[in-house]
Amino acid sequence: MKNILVVGGAGYIGSHTVKMLRAQGYSPVVYDNLSKGHRQAVEEVPFEEGDLGDKARLAEVFAKHHIEAVMHFAAFIEVGESVKEPSKYYHNNVAKVLNLLDTMKENGIKYFVFSSTAATFGEPVQPKINETHPQQPINPYGNSKLMVEKMLEDFDQAYGLKSVALRYFNASGADDSGLIGESHSPETHLIPLVLQAAAGKRPSIKVFGSDYPTPDGTCVRDYVHVNDLARAHILALEKMEKENKSLRYNLGSGSGFSVAELIKEAKEITGIDFKVEYEERRAGDPAVLVADPAKAQAELGWTPQYNLKQIIATAWNWEKNRRF
Ligand X SMILES: NC(=O)c1ccc[n+]([C@@H]2O[C@H](COP(=O)([O-])OP(=O)(O)OC[C@H]3O[C@@H](n4cnc5c(N)ncnc54)[C@H](O)[C@@H]3O)[C@@H](O)[C@H]2O)c1
Alpha helix stretches (DSSP H) within 160-218: 190-198
Residue with Cβ nearer ligand X (35 or 157): 35
Compare residues 75 and 290 and give the one whose CB is closer to ligand X: 75
Q: How far is the CB of 316 from ligand X (least distance, A)?
A: 17
Site for ligand X, rule CB under 6 A = 8, 10-14, 32-37, 51-52, 73-75, 77, 92, 96, 115, 117, 168, 170-171, 184
User: In sequence order, what are the beta bridge partners of 213?
Assistant: none
Q: Measured from the CB of residue 18, what is the shortest distance to ligand X in angstroms?
A: 11
Residue nearest to ligand X (CB): 11
168: annotated active-site residue: no
Distance CA 146, CA 167 (A): 10
Distance CA 113, CA 98 (A): 14
Which one of the listed residues 89, 111, 141, 223 is annotated catalytic? Answer: 141
280 φ/ψ sector (left φ>0, alpha ψ -120 to 50, else beta): beta
Decide whether 36 or 105 has the Cβ nearer to ligand X.
36
Min separation Cβ 174 and ligand X, Å: 12
| CB closer to ligand X, 49 vs 279 | 49
- Min dist CB 189 to ligand X, Å, is 6
Tell me the three state secondary structure of residue 214.
coil
Nearer CB in complex with ligand X: 34/294? 34
Kindly give, in sequence order, each residue whose CB lies less than 8 Å from that of residue 285, ignoring residues fewer than 6 positions away: 208, 209, 219
| C-alpha–C-alpha distance, residues 248 and 151, integer Å | 14
Sign of CA dihedral 115, 17, 181, 318: positive
Q: Is 167 helix (H, G, I), strand (E, B) or coil?
A: strand
Q: How far is the CB of 230 from ligand X (least distance, A)?
A: 11
Q: Is the peptide bond before 192 cis (omega within 30 degrees of 0)?
A: no
Please give the single-letter amino acid code of residue 123: E
Residues belonging to the active site: 141
